[in-house]
Protein backbone atom coordinates (compact mmCIF):
# COMPACT_ATOMS: atom_id res chain seq x y z
CA UNK A 1 0.00 0.00 0.00
CA UNK A 2 1.46 3.36 -0.97
CA UNK A 3 1.59 6.21 1.50
CA UNK A 4 -0.65 9.02 0.34
CA UNK A 5 0.70 12.55 0.14
CA UNK A 6 -1.96 14.67 1.79
CA UNK A 7 -0.97 18.32 1.49
CA UNK A 8 -3.02 20.64 3.66
CA UNK A 9 -5.92 18.32 4.35
CA UNK A 10 -7.22 17.61 7.83
CA UNK A 11 -5.55 14.20 7.88
CA UNK A 12 -2.20 15.88 7.14
CA UNK A 13 -2.50 18.22 10.10
CA UNK A 14 0.12 18.01 12.81
CA UNK A 15 -1.55 18.32 16.17
CA UNK A 16 0.14 19.03 19.53
CA UNK A 17 -0.19 16.20 22.04
CA UNK A 18 -0.01 16.12 25.84
CA UNK A 19 0.40 13.00 27.98
CA UNK A 20 -1.78 12.85 31.09
CA UNK A 21 -2.53 9.39 32.43
CA UNK A 22 -5.46 9.18 34.88
CA UNK A 23 -4.47 8.67 38.50
CA UNK A 24 -7.08 5.93 38.67
CA UNK A 25 -5.09 3.94 36.09
CA UNK A 26 -1.93 4.19 38.20
CA UNK A 27 -3.82 3.13 41.31
CA UNK A 28 -5.32 0.17 39.44
CA UNK A 29 -1.86 -0.82 38.20
CA UNK A 30 -0.48 -0.91 41.73
CA UNK A 31 -3.45 -2.98 42.89
CA UNK A 32 -2.89 -5.53 40.11
CA UNK A 33 0.80 -5.81 40.97
CA UNK A 34 -0.07 -6.37 44.63
CA UNK A 35 -2.53 -9.12 43.66
CA UNK A 36 0.03 -11.10 41.60
CA UNK A 37 -0.08 -14.85 42.17
CA UNK A 38 3.51 -16.06 42.16
CA UNK A 39 4.83 -19.44 41.02
CA UNK A 40 7.44 -21.48 42.82
CA UNK A 41 11.13 -20.60 42.43
CA UNK A 42 12.92 -21.86 39.31
CA UNK A 43 14.85 -25.11 39.61
CA UNK A 44 18.16 -23.68 38.37
CA UNK A 45 20.54 -21.06 39.74
CA UNK A 46 21.01 -19.22 36.43
CA UNK A 47 18.79 -17.58 33.80
CA UNK A 48 18.48 -20.63 31.53
CA UNK A 49 14.75 -20.95 32.34
CA UNK A 50 14.08 -17.26 31.73
CA UNK A 51 13.55 -14.33 34.09
CA UNK A 52 14.43 -15.48 37.64
CA UNK A 53 11.62 -15.28 40.18
CA UNK A 54 13.71 -13.03 42.41
CA UNK A 55 14.06 -10.48 39.60
CA UNK A 56 10.32 -10.46 38.88
CA UNK A 57 9.54 -10.06 42.57
CA UNK A 58 12.09 -7.28 43.05
CA UNK A 59 10.62 -5.51 40.02
CA UNK A 60 7.11 -5.90 41.41
CA UNK A 61 8.05 -4.53 44.85
CA UNK A 62 9.68 -1.46 43.37
CA UNK A 63 6.90 -0.96 40.78
CA UNK A 64 4.15 -1.11 43.40
CA UNK A 65 5.79 0.77 46.27
CA UNK A 66 8.36 3.25 44.93
CA UNK A 67 8.19 3.78 41.18
CA UNK A 68 6.82 7.17 40.06
CA UNK A 69 5.38 7.33 36.52
CA UNK A 70 4.78 11.07 36.84
CA UNK A 71 8.53 11.75 36.60
CA UNK A 72 8.87 10.31 33.12
CA UNK A 73 5.50 11.76 32.12
CA UNK A 74 6.87 15.21 33.01
CA UNK A 75 10.07 14.51 31.01
CA UNK A 76 8.01 13.55 27.99
CA UNK A 77 5.69 16.55 28.28
CA UNK A 78 8.71 18.86 28.48
CA UNK A 79 9.41 17.82 24.89
CA UNK A 80 7.32 18.77 21.82
CA UNK A 81 4.86 15.89 21.25
CA UNK A 82 2.68 15.67 18.16
CA UNK A 83 0.14 13.46 16.39
CA UNK A 84 -0.45 13.26 12.65
CA UNK A 85 -2.55 10.87 10.58
CA UNK A 86 -0.83 8.80 7.90
CA UNK A 87 -2.76 6.22 5.90
CA UNK A 88 -5.69 6.44 8.30
CA UNK A 89 -3.61 5.85 11.44
CA UNK A 90 -2.58 8.37 14.08
CA UNK A 91 1.21 8.51 14.43
CA UNK A 92 2.68 10.00 17.59
CA UNK A 93 6.15 11.52 17.49
CA UNK A 94 8.57 13.76 19.33
CA UNK A 95 9.97 16.60 17.23
CA UNK A 96 12.86 18.44 18.85
CA UNK A 97 14.46 21.14 16.73
CA UNK A 98 17.99 22.20 17.56
CA UNK A 99 18.77 25.84 18.28
CA UNK A 100 21.45 25.49 15.60
CA UNK A 101 19.75 26.34 12.31
CA UNK A 102 22.12 24.25 10.19
CA UNK A 103 21.25 21.12 12.16
CA UNK A 104 20.75 17.93 10.16
CA UNK A 105 17.25 16.38 10.37
CA UNK A 106 17.40 12.83 11.79
CA UNK A 107 14.56 10.33 12.27
CA UNK A 108 15.29 7.71 14.95
CA UNK A 109 13.23 4.53 15.25
CA UNK A 110 12.92 2.37 18.37
CA UNK A 111 12.39 -1.38 18.55
CA UNK A 112 10.68 -4.02 20.69
CA UNK A 113 10.36 -4.15 23.64
CA UNK A 114 11.26 -0.50 23.40
CA UNK A 115 9.52 2.80 22.76
CA UNK A 116 10.38 6.48 22.56
CA UNK A 117 11.66 6.01 26.15
CA UNK A 118 14.76 4.40 24.60
CA UNK A 119 15.84 7.64 22.92
CA UNK A 120 15.31 10.16 25.73
CA UNK A 121 18.99 10.11 26.76
CA UNK A 122 20.31 11.00 23.29
CA UNK A 123 18.03 14.00 22.71
CA UNK A 124 20.19 16.52 24.56
CA UNK A 125 23.55 15.42 23.14
CA UNK A 126 22.23 15.37 19.57
CA UNK A 127 20.13 18.54 19.51
CA UNK A 128 22.36 20.64 21.76
CA UNK A 129 25.91 19.37 21.16
CA UNK A 130 27.64 22.48 22.51
CA UNK A 131 26.18 21.73 25.95
CA UNK A 132 27.63 18.22 25.77
CA UNK A 133 31.22 18.89 24.72
CA UNK A 134 30.67 18.74 20.95
CA UNK A 135 30.52 21.26 18.10
CA UNK A 136 27.48 23.15 16.84
CA UNK A 137 28.25 21.79 13.39
CA UNK A 138 27.26 18.32 14.64
CA UNK A 139 23.71 19.30 15.70
CA UNK A 140 20.59 17.40 14.68
CA UNK A 141 16.89 18.17 14.49
CA UNK A 142 15.31 15.02 15.92
CA UNK A 143 12.11 13.22 14.94
CA UNK A 144 11.34 10.23 17.18
CA UNK A 145 8.09 8.47 16.24
CA UNK A 146 6.19 5.75 18.09
CA UNK A 147 5.71 2.79 15.76
CA UNK A 148 2.09 1.82 14.93
CA UNK A 149 0.63 -0.15 17.85
CA UNK A 150 3.24 1.23 20.25
CA UNK A 151 2.81 3.91 22.91
CA UNK A 152 0.65 6.82 21.83
CA UNK A 153 0.41 5.92 18.13
CA UNK A 154 -2.77 4.36 16.83
CA UNK A 155 -3.34 0.60 16.85
CA UNK A 156 -3.87 -0.90 13.39
CA UNK A 157 -7.26 -2.60 13.08
CA UNK A 158 -6.48 -4.43 9.84
CA UNK A 159 -3.33 -6.18 8.55
CA UNK A 160 -0.79 -4.27 6.51
CA UNK A 161 1.28 -2.16 8.88
CA UNK A 162 4.52 -4.10 8.41
CA UNK A 163 8.08 -2.74 8.44
CA UNK A 164 7.97 -1.73 4.77
CA UNK A 165 4.76 0.24 5.36
CA UNK A 166 6.26 1.94 8.41
CA UNK A 167 9.35 2.91 6.38
CA UNK A 168 7.11 4.55 3.77
CA UNK A 169 5.17 6.32 6.51
CA UNK A 170 8.37 7.69 8.07
CA UNK A 171 9.42 9.11 4.71
CA UNK A 172 6.02 10.78 4.43
CA UNK A 173 6.36 12.10 8.00
CA UNK A 174 9.71 13.74 7.28
CA UNK A 175 8.37 15.31 4.08
CA UNK A 176 5.26 16.48 5.93
CA UNK A 177 7.50 18.22 8.47
CA UNK A 178 9.08 20.12 5.59
CA UNK A 179 12.45 18.40 5.50
CA UNK A 180 13.97 18.28 2.04
CA UNK A 181 17.02 16.35 3.27
CA UNK A 182 17.36 13.99 6.21
CA UNK A 183 19.14 10.95 7.63
CA UNK A 184 17.73 7.96 9.52
CA UNK A 185 18.86 5.73 12.39
CA UNK A 186 17.58 2.66 14.22
CA UNK A 187 18.24 -0.48 16.20
CA UNK A 188 16.16 -3.66 16.56
CA UNK A 189 12.92 -3.08 14.58
CA UNK A 190 14.28 0.40 13.99
CA UNK A 191 17.28 -1.14 12.23
CA UNK A 192 15.05 -3.09 9.85
CA UNK A 193 12.84 -0.07 9.20
CA UNK A 194 15.88 2.14 8.64
CA UNK A 195 17.35 -0.42 6.22
CA UNK A 196 14.04 -0.31 4.33
CA UNK A 197 14.07 3.50 4.24
CA UNK A 198 17.51 3.12 2.70
CA UNK A 199 16.23 0.51 0.26
CA UNK A 200 13.33 2.76 -0.77
CA UNK A 201 15.91 5.57 -1.14
CA UNK A 202 13.72 8.68 -1.43
CA UNK A 203 15.57 11.65 -2.94
CA UNK A 204 15.44 13.48 0.42
CA UNK A 205 17.45 10.72 2.15
CA UNK A 206 21.17 11.42 2.54
CA UNK A 207 22.08 8.20 4.35
CA UNK A 208 21.34 5.87 7.27
CA UNK A 209 22.98 4.61 10.45
CA UNK A 210 22.32 1.25 12.07
CA UNK A 211 23.51 -0.41 15.26
CA UNK A 212 22.02 -3.78 14.24
CA UNK A 213 23.07 -4.12 10.60
CA UNK A 214 21.23 -6.25 8.11
CA UNK A 215 24.51 -7.51 6.73
CA UNK A 216 24.50 -11.31 6.96
CA UNK A 217 24.90 -13.04 3.56
CA UNK A 218 21.38 -14.29 2.75
CA UNK A 219 22.40 -17.93 2.28
CA UNK A 220 24.14 -18.00 5.66
CA UNK A 221 21.22 -16.17 7.29
CA UNK A 222 18.80 -18.81 5.95
CA UNK A 223 21.07 -21.64 7.08
CA UNK A 224 21.42 -20.30 10.63
CA UNK A 225 17.65 -20.03 11.05
CA UNK A 226 17.38 -23.81 10.61
CA UNK A 227 18.82 -24.15 14.10
CA UNK A 228 15.92 -22.33 15.73
CA UNK A 229 14.38 -25.54 17.13
CA UNK A 230 17.70 -27.03 18.12
CA UNK A 231 17.02 -30.05 15.89
CA UNK A 232 19.67 -28.98 13.36
CA UNK A 233 23.28 -27.89 13.74
CA UNK A 234 23.76 -25.22 11.06
CA UNK A 235 27.27 -24.42 12.27
CA UNK A 236 28.39 -27.79 10.88
CA UNK A 237 27.27 -26.73 7.38
CA UNK A 238 28.88 -23.29 7.14
CA UNK A 239 31.06 -22.46 4.13
CA UNK A 240 34.68 -23.50 4.71
CA UNK A 241 36.16 -20.15 3.65
CA UNK A 242 34.78 -18.02 6.49
CA UNK A 243 37.20 -15.99 8.58
CA UNK A 244 37.42 -16.53 12.34
CA UNK A 245 35.47 -13.29 12.86
CA UNK A 246 32.72 -14.40 10.48
CA UNK A 247 32.51 -17.79 12.21
CA UNK A 248 32.16 -16.04 15.55
CA UNK A 249 29.25 -13.99 14.20
CA UNK A 250 27.58 -17.20 13.02
CA UNK A 251 27.98 -18.71 16.48
CA UNK A 252 26.37 -15.64 18.03
CA UNK A 253 23.43 -15.81 15.63
CA UNK A 254 23.06 -19.55 16.18
CA UNK A 255 22.79 -18.86 19.91
CA UNK A 256 20.23 -16.13 19.30
CA UNK A 257 18.00 -18.28 17.10
CA UNK A 258 18.03 -21.04 19.72
CA UNK A 259 16.92 -18.49 22.34
CA UNK A 260 14.37 -16.49 20.34
CA UNK A 261 11.16 -18.08 21.61
CA UNK A 262 9.75 -14.65 22.49
CA UNK A 263 9.88 -13.54 18.85
CA UNK A 264 8.58 -16.83 17.48
CA UNK A 265 5.60 -16.74 19.81
CA UNK A 266 4.67 -13.18 18.91
CA UNK A 267 5.12 -13.92 15.23
CA UNK A 268 3.08 -17.13 15.17
CA UNK A 269 0.48 -16.90 17.97
CA UNK A 270 0.17 -13.24 18.88
CA UNK A 271 -3.38 -13.36 20.20
CA UNK A 272 -2.51 -16.15 22.61
CA UNK A 273 -0.61 -13.51 24.58
CA UNK A 274 -3.82 -11.88 25.84
CA UNK A 275 -2.35 -11.95 29.35
CA UNK A 276 -0.30 -8.90 28.37
CA UNK A 277 -3.47 -6.83 28.74
CA UNK A 278 -4.46 -8.38 32.07
CA UNK A 279 -1.33 -8.92 34.16
CA UNK A 280 1.39 -6.28 34.64
CA UNK A 281 3.88 -8.93 35.75
CA UNK A 282 3.12 -11.14 32.74
CA UNK A 283 3.83 -8.16 30.49
CA UNK A 284 6.95 -7.11 32.38
CA UNK A 285 8.52 -10.58 32.57
CA UNK A 286 8.02 -11.12 28.85
CA UNK A 287 9.42 -7.72 27.93
CA UNK A 288 12.65 -7.98 29.91
CA UNK A 289 13.52 -11.43 28.52
CA UNK A 290 14.73 -10.13 25.15
CA UNK A 291 18.31 -11.37 24.97
CA UNK A 292 20.80 -12.86 27.42
CA UNK A 293 23.02 -9.79 27.80
CA UNK A 294 20.12 -7.37 28.29
CA UNK A 295 18.40 -9.70 30.77
CA UNK A 296 21.59 -9.90 32.82
CA UNK A 297 21.86 -6.10 32.80
CA UNK A 298 18.24 -5.77 33.98
CA UNK A 299 18.61 -8.49 36.62
CA UNK A 300 21.62 -6.63 38.01
CA UNK A 301 19.67 -3.37 38.10
CA UNK A 302 16.93 -4.91 40.23
CA UNK A 303 19.56 -6.59 42.42
CA UNK A 304 20.93 -3.15 43.28
CA UNK A 305 23.85 -3.14 40.81
CA UNK A 306 22.73 -0.88 37.95
CA UNK A 307 24.86 -0.66 34.84
CA UNK A 308 23.78 1.40 31.85
CA UNK A 309 20.08 0.73 32.48
CA UNK A 310 18.39 1.60 35.79
CA UNK A 311 15.22 0.26 37.41
CA UNK A 312 13.39 3.43 36.40
CA UNK A 313 14.56 3.08 32.78
CA UNK A 314 13.07 -0.41 32.64
CA UNK A 315 9.81 0.52 34.34
CA UNK A 316 9.34 3.79 32.43
CA UNK A 317 9.19 1.69 29.29
CA UNK A 318 7.06 -1.16 30.67
CA UNK A 319 4.63 1.27 32.31
CA UNK A 320 4.17 3.08 29.01
CA UNK A 321 3.18 -0.25 27.43
CA UNK A 322 0.82 -1.02 30.33
CA UNK A 323 -0.94 2.35 30.51
CA UNK A 324 -1.50 2.47 26.74
CA UNK A 325 -2.46 -1.25 26.66
CA UNK A 326 -0.12 -1.80 23.73
CA UNK A 327 1.49 -5.10 24.76
CA UNK A 328 -0.50 -7.07 22.21
CA UNK A 329 -0.78 -4.42 19.48
CA UNK A 330 3.01 -3.99 19.54
CA UNK A 331 3.55 -7.75 19.34
CA UNK A 332 1.51 -7.96 16.14
CA UNK A 333 4.39 -6.36 14.23
CA UNK A 334 6.15 -9.72 14.51
CA UNK A 335 3.12 -11.42 12.93
CA UNK A 336 3.15 -8.85 10.12
CA UNK A 337 6.82 -9.30 9.32
CA UNK A 338 7.93 -11.51 6.42
CA UNK A 339 11.49 -10.17 6.13
CA UNK A 340 14.76 -11.26 7.69
CA UNK A 341 16.10 -8.87 10.30
CA UNK A 342 19.69 -9.83 9.70
CA UNK A 343 20.14 -10.60 5.98
CA UNK A 344 21.66 -8.09 3.56
CA UNK A 345 18.93 -6.36 1.53
CA UNK A 346 20.75 -4.46 -1.20
CA UNK A 347 20.86 -0.99 0.37
CA UNK A 348 22.93 1.32 -1.85
CA UNK A 349 22.61 4.70 -0.12
CA UNK A 350 25.43 5.83 2.22
CA UNK A 351 25.39 3.65 5.36
CA UNK A 352 27.12 3.96 8.73
CA UNK A 353 27.49 0.94 11.03
CA UNK A 354 28.25 0.88 14.76
CA UNK A 355 28.96 -2.52 16.29
CA UNK A 356 28.37 -2.86 20.03
CA UNK A 357 30.03 -5.90 21.67
CA UNK A 358 26.95 -7.18 23.50
CA UNK A 359 24.59 -6.85 20.52
CA UNK A 360 22.85 -10.04 19.35
CA UNK A 361 25.78 -10.45 16.97
CA UNK A 362 28.88 -8.46 16.01
CA UNK A 363 28.88 -7.72 12.29
CA UNK A 364 32.32 -8.16 10.69
CA UNK A 365 33.56 -5.32 8.53
CA UNK A 366 33.87 -7.78 5.63
CA UNK A 367 30.13 -8.48 5.69
CA UNK A 368 29.22 -4.83 6.29
CA UNK A 369 31.19 -3.86 3.18
CA UNK A 370 29.43 -6.54 1.11
CA UNK A 371 25.97 -5.60 2.35
CA UNK A 372 26.46 -1.85 2.13
CA UNK A 373 28.62 -1.00 -0.91
CA UNK A 374 28.42 2.69 0.09
CA UNK A 375 29.72 2.13 3.64
CA UNK A 376 30.84 5.52 4.97
CA UNK A 377 31.56 4.55 8.58
CA UNK A 378 32.25 1.34 10.48
CA UNK A 379 33.30 1.17 14.12
CA UNK A 380 33.44 -1.51 16.79
CA UNK A 381 32.77 -0.12 20.26
CA UNK A 382 34.28 -1.51 23.45
CA UNK A 383 31.05 -1.57 25.48
CA UNK A 384 27.29 -1.51 25.04
CA UNK A 385 24.59 -3.87 23.91
CA UNK A 386 21.30 -4.20 22.09
CA UNK A 387 19.65 -1.07 23.54
CA UNK A 388 22.48 1.28 22.59
CA UNK A 389 20.65 4.61 22.96
CA UNK A 390 19.36 3.56 26.37
CA UNK A 391 22.50 1.95 27.75
CA UNK A 392 25.32 3.95 26.11
CA UNK A 393 23.78 7.27 24.99
CA UNK A 394 27.10 9.15 24.94
CA UNK A 395 28.80 6.54 22.76
CA UNK A 396 25.86 6.34 20.35
CA UNK A 397 25.65 10.13 20.13
CA UNK A 398 29.35 10.30 19.29
CA UNK A 399 28.88 7.60 16.67
CA UNK A 400 26.03 9.50 15.01
CA UNK A 401 27.99 12.74 14.91
CA UNK A 402 30.96 10.99 13.31
CA UNK A 403 28.85 8.83 11.01
CA UNK A 404 26.90 11.64 9.38
CA UNK A 405 29.57 14.35 9.36
CA UNK A 406 30.50 13.73 5.74
CA UNK A 407 26.85 14.00 4.61
CA UNK A 408 26.14 17.49 5.94
Choose between 396 and 47: higher pLDDT.
Answer: 396
* Mean pLDDT estimate for the chain: 95
**86: three-class secondary structure by DSSP:** strand
Pairing of strands 205-210, 182-186: parallel
Q: Measured on CA atoms in the order 177, 182, 188, 193, is the torsion positive or negative?
A: positive
15-29, 218-232, 254-268, 334-348 — which is least confidently predicted? 218-232
Strands (E), 2-136: 14-16, 81-86, 89-96, 104-109
Contact 371, 365 (CB under 8 A): no
Confidence band (pLDDT; 50, 70, 90) for 228? confident
Look at residue 79 and tell me whether its pLDDT is greater than 60.
yes
> What mean pLDDT is predicted for residues 144-161?
98
Residue 10 confidence (pLDDT) = 54
Look at residue 208 and tell me whether its pLDDT is greater than 50.
yes
The span from the CA of 311 to the CA of 316, in Å, is 8
> What mean pLDDT is predicted for residues 65-89?
98
**338: three-class secondary structure by DSSP:** coil
Confidence band (pLDDT; 50, 70, 90) for 7? very low
The span from the CA of 324 to the CA of 153, in Å, is 9
Contact 163, 333 (CB under 8 A): yes
**Helix-strand-coil percent breakdown of the chain, rounded to 5?**
50, 15, 40
Look at residue 270 and tell me whether its pLDDT is greater than 90.
yes
| CATH code of the region 10-216+260-407 | 3.40.50.1820
CA atoms within 13 A on the CB side of 21: 23
Look at residue 9 and tell me whether its pLDDT is greater than 60.
no
Look at residue 246 and tell me whether its pLDDT is greater than 90.
yes
> What mean pLDDT is predicted for residues 261-288?
95
| The model's pTM | 0.95
Residue 308 confidence (pLDDT) = 86
| % of the chain exceeding 90 in pLDDT | 92
| % of the chain exceeding 70 in pLDDT | 97
- Which residue ranges does the chain devote to CATH 3.40.50.1820? 10-216+260-407
Q: What is the pLDDT of residues 299-343, one digit of tens each?
A: 999 999 888 899 999 999 999 999 999 999 999 999 999 999 999
Residue 1 confidence (pLDDT) = 28
Residue 306 confidence (pLDDT) = 83
Confidence band (pLDDT; 50, 70, 90) for 6? very low
> What mean pLDDT is predicted for residues 184-210?
98
Look at residue 159 and tell me whether its pLDDT is greater than 90.
yes
Residue 4 confidence (pLDDT) = 34
> What mean pLDDT is predicted for residues 34-53?
93
> What mean pLDDT is predicted for residues 156-169?
98
> What mean pLDDT is predicted for residues 25-52?
95
Residue 11 confidence (pLDDT) = 59
Look at residue 3 and tell me whether its pLDDT is greater than 50.
no
The span from the CA of 347 to the CA of 299, in Å, is 37
Amino acid sequence: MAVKTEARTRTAEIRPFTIEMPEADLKALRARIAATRWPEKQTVADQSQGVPLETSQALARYWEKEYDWRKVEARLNALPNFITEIDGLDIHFLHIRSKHEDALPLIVTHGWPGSIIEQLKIIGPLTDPTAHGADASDAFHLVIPSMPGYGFSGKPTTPGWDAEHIARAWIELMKRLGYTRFVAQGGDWGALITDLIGLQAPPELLGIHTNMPGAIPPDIDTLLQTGVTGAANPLASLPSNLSDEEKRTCEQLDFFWKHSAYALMMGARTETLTGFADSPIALASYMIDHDAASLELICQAFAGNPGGITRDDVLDNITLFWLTNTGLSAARLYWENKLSFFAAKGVSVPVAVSVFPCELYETPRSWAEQAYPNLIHYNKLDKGGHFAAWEQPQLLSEELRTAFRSLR
